[in-house]
């Protein structure tokens, strides 16, 4: 999901988890497809122009229909 930043692009730190996996792990069970680590926030760096664009990119790769939830999106300060 990484791409080279262009003019106007920012890097966003996006935290996502899977609500179905989280629920199953709380019951000491596992999801049939997704690993247990998806019960916890997984952080990805996304290059996009805006936070909405970053949300859309993540949503395409990790759809809410599959149980994925974006818990936070924040811009990273480039040094």
Q: Give the model confidence (pLDDT) of 17-75 as tens digits.
A: 999 999 999 999 999 999 999 999 999 999 999 999 999 999 999 999 999 999 999 99
What are the pLDDT digits (tens) for 16-30?
999 999 999 999 999
Q: Which structure tokens are listed for 57? A: 């990119």
Q: Where does residue 67 fall: left (phi above 0), alpha (psi -120 to 50 degrees), or beta otherwise?
A: left
- The residue extents of the domains of the chain are 10-75
Number of Cβ within 10 Å of residue 57's Cβ equals: 18
Instruction: Give the largest Cα separation in the chain, rounded.
Output: 47
CA angle 38, 2, 9 (to 5 degrees): 120
| Residue bearing the bigger pLDDT, 61 or 4 | 61
Q: Which helix (H) or strand (E) holds 68?
A: strand 68-75
């Amino acid at each position: 999901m990484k791409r080279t930043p262009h003019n106007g692009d920012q890097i966003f730190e996006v935290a996502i988890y899977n609500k179905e996996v989280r629920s199953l792990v709380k019951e000491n069970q596992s999801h049939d497809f997704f690993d247990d680590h998806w019960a916890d926030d997984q952080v990805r760096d996304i290059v996009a122009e805006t936070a909405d664009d970053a949300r859309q990119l993540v949503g395409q790769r990790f759809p809410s229909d599959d149980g994925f939830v974006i818990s936070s999106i924040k811009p990273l300060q480039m040094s």
